[in-house]
Structure 1
Amino acid sequence: MRTVGLIVEYNPFHNGHHYHLQQSLKITESDAVVAVMSGHFLQRGEPALLNKWTRTEMALRGGCDVVIELPVAYSTQAAEWFGYGAVALLEATGVVDALCFGSEAGEIGPLRRVAGLLAHEPAAFSALMADCLRTGASYPAAYSEAVRLYMEAAGDAEAASFPLAQPNNTLGLHYLLALERLGSAIEPFSLKREKAGYSQTTITDAQIASATAIRKLTLEAASPEGTAPYVPHSTLELLMRDHAIGRGRSSWVQYTSQLFHKLVGESAATLGSYHEMTEGLEHRLKKILPSLDTLAFEPLLDKLKTKRYTRTKLQRALLSVLLGHSKELLSPERLRGGIQYIRILGYSPRGQELLKRMRKTAKLPILNSAARSQQADPYLELDVQATSVYALGWPDASPRDLFRDYYEKPITIQGRIP
């Protein structure tokens, strides 16, 4: 059974995701899909619209066969560690033959050449990166410029002119870097992203909209029914189900009170110990707090944002404060050590067959719940804590909601329901 791996957030699963999944099966000539999916908090430093079990069900009903959780220690990281964690999990299953990711360019040749040269970060590239950062550019902008200059010096004009600054192209490069660094035999493929940009808020197509636009529709309307043209029927059913019980509209709004409690109650020194709190950002935070007109998330971001600090960087830093993620626990040395388990969130009947194979081929223990872990793992503990924080954003959260990781079995379905 040839298997393709996908790295996803499905926030929520929409028609574009369904197209990507179907085309991934086709171009990789695969029979099954293993998806590595972020849990309750995501790569851009945001809470997921819906909890990870609902999104797992969306994924399975949309065509995935096994859904594996990307631990929050990696799911909330910049592209390098997000990509490394996700690819390492696909590699660890022992059953994934191909990886297919969407990109703005749809080309993989230039990215593979860049990855081949930069996988072990030569000194010349590190020097270029340092020079670019000294200009005051944000890290993503500096990285793109350093790659351009390095590939130009290497005589690869096509790779030097590649639009690396576009978010899916950047993620794609880091997936390829991870494959190189892990010495993986997984074969990479890329599909061109069509009809809706990564963070496009306007809808310009009758059936395809970005997840950003769909979330905007869901959060601003009284009901998720307006998303119907842009999502599979199964996704709409689940959006409506969770909305009816007050659990389908999570955003930073629900966590602002928790966040400000920590920002106000902790010293600058303590804030500075959190992951992504760099270059004195903790002091800037403390200085800005008294000048706010309202204790709301967006005004805080607007005051904090500079050329150097992008919105995404700031969201990740604030999320680290909310979740209590320290620099020590999420240091490059710790992250490089990798994930020590494979957490299964759900599977289809075909996925059950894959899991039987995985139990023989996997390089890491396979967990069906946090309660099944044989030993304490700091990253698994962070996932349990993330679920508790996420559930506290609901108006009627119960203790069982807070500790659902210990109780919930993997989501199963009887078949694919488009």
Structure 2
Amino acid sequence: MKAVGVIVEYNPFHNGHRYHLDETKKKTNADCTIAVMSGNFLQRGEPALVSKWVRTKMALEAGVDIVIELPYAFATQKAQNFANGAISLLDAILCEEVCFGSENGTINDFESTVDFMKDNQQSYDHTTRKYLKEGYSYPKAASLAYSSLSNHNTYVDLSKPNNILGYHYVKAIHDQKSSIKAETIMRTSAGYHDETISHESIASATSIRKTLFSTEKKIEDIIDYLPPSTAKWLTSYYEENQLYHRWEEYFTLLKYKLLTTPPSELAKIYEAEEGIENRLLAFITEAASFQDFMEKIKTKRYTWTRLQRLCVHILTNTTKEQLKPINENPVATYIRLLGMSQKGQAYLNHVKKDVKLPILSKGSGISDELFTLDLKAAQTYLAIFPEPHRTKLLRQEYSIPPIRYHEEQRIYL
């Protein structure tokens, strides 16, 4: 059986994701589709809108065959580490191909760009440092350095968010000496960061979330941009929990952490560099909301995304020391299986003797730094719930088995 991998957040699963999934199957002719999906917190430093279990159900009902979790240590990091963790998981579970969405849409351009960067790494690093000294953020400095060295007619435009991720996926395949073949599909209609809806049926996850929160959580206002299963599970999650997860729900916890943690301890948190913790402490007392706080601390040098990721690491108390060995060897050490279809189960039965990492079917019985961070992330994600609901959900994190979906009968087993 041939498997293709997709690297996703599904926050939430929308029509653009369905297009990517359908086109991936057509392009690769794979027997099984495996999604590596971020868990409780995401690459831009945000809590997932709904739980990973609900997003797994959205994925399975849309046609994904296996969903595995991208550990917190990779899911909440810059593109390079995010990509390395995801590719290592797809390689371990024996995917033959990976297919990602991009603004470019031509895989040969990504391969050429990886080769170009290898040949020009020294000049690129030197130019990036020059722009950093001028006060630019790292992403902007890197983009400017790349633009000064490359010809965008020949290479991928690395100022585009999905192109950046795609470049790092291809680079990770090369660096890990993986046999995975990369493919790409051009994104259609909506950009990754688009905050407004302009197409009749496809919108970015960012604009969908923004619309949802600006219309008092009315599913009717975003239903045209979602598969029916997503609308169903979003409605069900809100009815059961009376909230969707966003930063504002965690702001009180963040304020408490900042006001009760000594600056010397905050400086040990991952992504706290150059005394940035002092800027957070200077504004936290007067901030009335998370949005207000971010607007106060945002600067030309520190991107919104980087600041959000720092705030996530403060909430989870994730230190530089904890992530140092993981960043030095940025590959996964286990496969956390979240869900599978009948076809997905058949694939696992077919390859289980050759899978390169242990497959975890429950969140217990393992001693691993990656998994320790995942459990802390789960505890933090669920901390906003009242008791006894919080404890009930946390027990599920340790004990719930992978979701099993019968795709032909459309039922859960």
CA distance in 2 between partners of 1:332 and 1:133 (Å): 26
Mapped to 1, the partners of 2:120 and 2:260 lie a distance apart of 40
Equivalent pair of 1:119/1:177 in contact (CA under 8 Å)? no
Structure 1 stretches lacking a partner, 5+ long: none
Aligned counterpart in structure 1 of residue 251 of structure 2, from 256, 271, 274: 256
Question: Once the 2 structures are TM-superposed, how far is the Cα of residue 398 of structure 1 from its aligned partner?
Answer: 3.0
Moved more, 211-220 or 339-348: 211-220
Separation in 1 of the partners of 2:276 and 2:119? 30
Q: Aligned in 2, Cα 1:307/1:255: closer, same or farther, shift over 3 Å?
A: same
Confirm whether residue 205 of structure 1 aligns to residue 199 of structure 2. yes
CA shift for structure 1 position 246: 2.1
Map 1:56-205 to 2 at 5 A.
Answer: 56-94=56-94, 96-118=95-117, 122-151=121-150, 158-159=154-155, 162-205=156-199
Contact 1:73 1:379 in 2 (8 A): yes
Tell me by how many angstroms 1:151 deviates: 3.4
What is the match of residue 331 of structure 2?
A: 338
What letter matches 1:139 in structure 2?
Answer: Y
Matched, 1:274 2:269: yes
Contact 2:81 2:330 in 1 (8 A): no
SS at match of 2:351: helix
**Range 403-412 or range 177-186, more displaced:** 403-412
Over the residues paired in the alignment, what is the CA RMSD in angstroms?
1.9
Q: In structure 2, what is the equivalent of residue 408 of structure 1? A: 400
How do 1:312-391 residues align onto structure 2 when only pairs under 5 Å count?
312-331=305-324, 334-373=327-366, 376-391=367-382
Percent of residue pairs bearing the same amino acid type: 39
Return the match for 2:391 from 355, 376, 399: 399
1:222 and 1:170 map into 2 onto residues whose CA distance is 32
Mapped partners of 1:343, 1:118: distance in 2: 33
Compared with structure 1, are the counterparts of its residues 380 and 175 closer, same or farther at alpha carbon in structure 2 (3 Å cutoff)?
Answer: same
Cross-structure match for 1:235? 230
Q: Which runs of 4+ in 1 moved over 6 A?
A: none
Separation of aligned partners in 1, 2:160 and 2:301: 18
In the alignment, is the contact (CA less than 8 A) between 1:128 and 1:146 conserved in 2?
Answer: yes
Matched, 1:15 2:9: no
Amino acid corresponding to residue 170 of structure 1 in structure 2:
I
* Residue of structure 1 aligned with 2:293, choices 297, 300, 324: 300
Task: Write the letter of the residue equivalent to 1:401.
Answer: L
What letter matches 2:371 in structure 1?
Answer: L
Kindly provide the amino acid, as one letter, of the partner of residue 99 in structure 2. Answer: C
Q: CA deviation at 1:50?
A: 0.3
| Residues 342 and 405, structure 2, Cα contact 8 Å, conserved in 1 | yes
TM-score normalised per structure 1 = 0.93
How far off its partner does 1:372 sit? 4.3
Matches within 5 A, 1:208-227: 208-220=202-214, 221-227=216-222
Structure 2: which 5+ residue stretches go unaligned? none
How far, CA to CA, are the matches of 1:307 and 1:398 in structure 2? 38
Taking a change above 3 Å as real, the CA distance of residues 120 and 407 of structure 1, as seen in their structure-2 partners, is farther
Equivalent residues of 1:388, 1:401 under 8 A apart: no
Shift of the 120–72 alpha-carbon distance from structure 1 to 2, 3 Å rule, reads farther
d(CA) in 2 for partners of 1:167, 1:247: 33
Instruction: Measure, in 1, the Cα distance between the counterparts of 2:219 and 2:153.
Output: 47
For the residue of structure 2 that corresponds to 1:198, the secondary structure is: coil
Q: How far off its partner does 1:121 sit?
A: 7.8
1:371 positional shift? 1.4
Q: Deviations over 1:55-79 (max 9, x none)?
A: 0010111110000100011100011
Q: Distance in 2 between matches of 1:100 and 1:337?
A: 21
Q: What's the CA shift string for 1:119-157, capped at 9, x where partnerless?
A: 5984333222222222211111111222233436xxx86
1:187 Cα deviation after fit = 0.8
CA distance in 1, matches of 2:65, 2:120: 35
| CA-CA distance at 1:102 after TM superposition | 0.5
Residues 279-312 of structure 1: CA distance to partner in whole angstroms, max 9, x if unpaired?
110111222234x2x4311111111111111100
1:321 is aligned with what amino acid?
I
Report deviation, 1:166. Answer: 1.0
Kept in 2, the 8 Å contact 1:250–1:393? The answer is no
CA separation of 1:406/1:120 partners in 2, compared to 1, >3 Å: closer, same or farther? farther
- Rounded to whole Å, the distance in 1 between the matches of 2:262 and 2:120 is 36
Q: Secondary structure at the match of 2:320?
A: coil
